[in-house]
């Protein structure tokens, strides 16, 4: 967590962008909570410790970080935008029962999309939806 947090702050400094307290808190939250939060979840979590924090500040901070390539926008659902500080290629699995999102590794080079020859790919995303092991276990226990 500390390494990613420091890296993100350093990248903002390199770009001569201000590192305000609200930006620090949003970045810290993203680095600590690996649950791919929405802007609303971040706002709700930080509002208690920063009463003057506005939704606009949270949204603007997230948009800035995404625009400069420091966070990844995770759009598994059409009506829900989540944010991820892990920038290396990886996939996401969303549990349709509990809503939690899990990261998983995959071999990007193993995906051979001949149909995309000549296209300039700027982002890769691999998403699955289903039921996580914890929710599957809970279903089994309910039916016993």
DSSP string of 47-104? HTT-TT--HHHHHHHHHHHHHTTSSEEEEEETTEEEEES--SS-EEEEETTT--EEEE
pLDDT at 9: 95
pLDDT at 135: 96
Instruction: Assign a CATH topology to domain 88-144.
Output: Dna Ligase; domain 1 (3.30.1490)
- pTM of the complete model: 0.82
Helix, strand and coil percent figures for the chain, each rounded to 5: 45, 15, 40
Cα Rg for the chain, rounded, in angstroms? 18
CATH number assigned to the domain with residue range 1-86, chosen from the 4 options 1.10.10.10, 1.25.40.80, 1.10.10.60, 1.10.3720.10: 1.10.10.10
For residue 90, the Cα-to-chain-centroid distance in whole angstroms is 11
Domain ranges of the chain: 1-86, 88-144
- pLDDT, averaged per 10 consecutive residues of the chain (144 residues), comes to 88 95 96 92 95 95 96 88 90 94 85 82 85 92 78
């Amino acid at each position: 967590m500390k390494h990613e947090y420091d890296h993100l702050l350093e990248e903002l400094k390199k770009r001569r962008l201000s590192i305000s307290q609200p930006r620090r808190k949003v970045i810290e939250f993203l680095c600590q909570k690996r649950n791919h939060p929405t802007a609303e979840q971040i706002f709700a979590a930080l509002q208690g410790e920063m009463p003057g924090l506005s939704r606009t500040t949270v949204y603007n901070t997230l948009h800035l970080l995404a625009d400069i390539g420091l966070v990844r926008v995770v759009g598994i659902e059409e009506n829900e935008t989540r944010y991820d500080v892990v920038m290396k290629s990886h996939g996401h699995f969303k549990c349709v029962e509990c809503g939690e999102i899990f990261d998983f590794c995959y071999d990007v080079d193993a995906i051979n999309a001949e149909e995309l020859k000549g296209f300039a790919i700027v982002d890769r995303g691999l998403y699955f939806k289903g039921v996580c092991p914890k929710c599957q276990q809970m279903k089994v226990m309910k039916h016993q």
